[in-house]
Amino acid sequence: METEKSYIDIHSHILPEMDDGPPSLEAAVALAQAFVEKGFHTVIATPHCTEGSPSVEAIMAAVEALNRALAGQKIPLRVLPGAEHTLEPRLMERLAQGALLTLNRGRYLLIELPLLQPLPPYTRDMLFALRARGYFPLLAHPERVKAFQDDLALLAAMIRSGAFAQLTLGSLTGAMGPEAHRTAAAMLKGNLVHFLA
């Protein structure tokens, strides 16, 4: 007997009118319907968050409004709160102040590293500090980060130190470019992938 598969997307820009999200609530509802048609039952909304903007309150309000709209349309998708945080010097301070959203208010903190620039010199220390405080740093799409494309051993060392890696599915198909595709394949071969989104 075959069981029906269902999925959770942990990295989604589904919130309307918020950075990379859809341009309207109607477009967000249509995107939610597409998620359901692909077998998803839950999505974590992860708008880009830099230096505390958008605020936790703004993200929570947008998640609540979208869930109300989905319930009104009887679309069986649950949207949970989260954010994709830029690694920046005051990240730990903002976390201590409650100004950062983890994925569904859990212990995973989705972190985006610079895609084309060198990694900040404090990167490893900050990832270690997150682990020391009981959080799980989850690196968003590391296959798209030039520093890892140039030196995958750097990513492997961060994972050995307690970081996790989230691969973008589009990188496996080549949709994110040849370097991301090559790095994604190498990450899979090297067992350096914890989540696909």
Question: At which of 69, 86, 103 does a domain end?
Answer: 86
Give the model confidence (pLDDT) of 58-95 as tens digits. 999 999 999 999 999 999 999 999 999 999 999 999 99
Question: How do beta strands 40-45 and 78-81 pair?
Answer: parallel
Report the pLDDT value the prediction gives residue 4, as an integer from 0 to 100.
72
Q: Are 63 and 118 in a shared domain?
A: no
Domain count, the chain: 2
Which burial class, exposed, middle or buried, applies to 180 when counting CB atoms under 10 A from its CB (0-12, 13-18, 19+)?
Answer: buried
72 and 30 in a common domain = yes
Does residue 23 have a cis bond before it (omega within 30 degrees)?
no
Report helix, strand or coil for 112.
strand
Which residues, in sequence order, are CB contacts of 113 under 8 Å at separation 6+?
A: 87, 119, 123, 139, 140, 142, 145, 147
* Average pLDDT value for the chain: 96
Residue 1 confidence (pLDDT) above 60: no
Q: Is the pTM of this model over 0.75?
A: yes
Containing structural domain, residue 26? 1-86
Indicate whether 25 pLDDT > 90: yes
Q: Given this model, what pLDDT does residue 47 score?
A: 98
Co-location of 74 and 145 in the same domain: no
Structure confidence at residue 184 as a pLDDT band (50, 70, 90): very high
Question: Closest Cα to residue 10, out of 114, 85, 84?
Answer: 84
Q: Are 81 and 43 in contact (CB under 8 A)?
A: no
Task: Please tell me whether residues 117 and 183 are part of one structural domain.
Answer: yes
Asked if 117 and 81 sit in the same domain, the reply is no
Domain contains 98: no
Last residue of a domain, one of 49, 67, 86: 86
